[in-house]
Chain A
């Protein structure tokens, strides 16, 4: 009884400061088609925000497809940069695009709100591959960078490609060798793994969430997971860190708002997102979707976005994707 009262009080304490700001017609733009990762971010977070009562009413999800998010970025920058009701889903992929100058404006055009979770990068090979560790793969690639064909769900210079190269560089591969590693794009992580099983390619770098089933069924072998600690869902999969390669390659999911929104709206949404992140519902939902709940918000997140953008730009230059 007292415990329940305590919980009510705690909830009230959480909600009361929110009274200062509450979005009137909350809207989330998913800069992709229904079914994609950004769409999933908007719909899942939107539904949880309503279910947990953190916002009143439904969160409207608008799909604004185009140019890997550039259409939405341009639209928000030019037409809705001060809209207090609007958040836009983004992820590491969006920052990659900005780092390579593929968005109409830089990171300064928006206010970066928060990340709530991340999908984790993984390096996979065929189940009967001769490679048993990242070091095996590294040794082969160092001897002949073209000897193993790598693939993933992004094009040359996309995040699946970049994070594999960043991992290899961290593991000791020479920067000028990076661009000689063969890379093939497939339309999704599942496609790439299927091609791996068929023996058409040698190694896959992609998000673990989408292809977890293949790891559990033993159809593919994990060389390394790009996270700080082993993942709960895949306790047998070794991390890169364990193998002496201190690299984390997350594909985080988060949100930005227009560059001219008021501090009141920004702080209000920040508080809402933080409450959501701390809720049991989000922690469970995130884990069930193969995401690792990770929080970065406000200034901390803005700094993180800037730092990531800079790192990506460096590697992109090294492999000649940008000048």
Chain B
């Protein structure tokens, strides 16, 4: 680590203090970015391109005289896509599309609120803080495979969930309760992820900001809304963005907890999986591609609407950075807040 981090300096030695950010940084950037791109190209880029190609083909499923499957893929253009969107499968697709969107909107909303609350709790100084911190991280640290099983047992007909509410709900059968069970298990597991990221963001807020607010007589809610929230926004947005990406690709929890082929919880990833496991690789790749596009649209809209701090601000801030040299960015941001 020590030797490698020294490299940037040797690649592009700093000559001027202020302009150095612009001069020659294109090449430096290329050097610094290349390992990431190499890995991503190999492990994600290649499969995506492969899937795009695959999604234009269909496997023949006819049998020859001996009962063997006739080999060879046939090019079908966009037929896999049109079949999914308008054909017989469209009912399943739009249902899964709705479920995926539902889980994403409701799940991420709950996770965000819970996660921020957890971060605020973890951030406080009190006795037994270590214990609370540990307990918050436990759900997230349990492997999904294990926690899905755990919830399956909790939500059984005569499981502990029903024993506690004193009423028998058949959680794993079709119906809204199945969605509720998935949401409970999912938010339980992933709110700590948001909490952890936000906690790190909270650590960056200097105490003076709160002191100043206190002097001004600001209330708790006001302080949170006007000071804490804007300051943790960049980190919170990253956390929410990656939760969005994850839930939109939701697969293992509903699959293990509720089961395959259940309309109430079937997601787009589950459809893609189902097609692939029945050897229909073309439609499976088409589902994956449609999901990819959907995720990309959601992520783009999210960043455009809320995430000016993450991307757009990067450039403009650079340019004004020199001007507010003395005050420092924290003070500058505090002033704008």
A and B part of one assembly? no
Interface residues of B (CB under 8 A from A): none
Interface residues of A (CB under 8 A from B): none
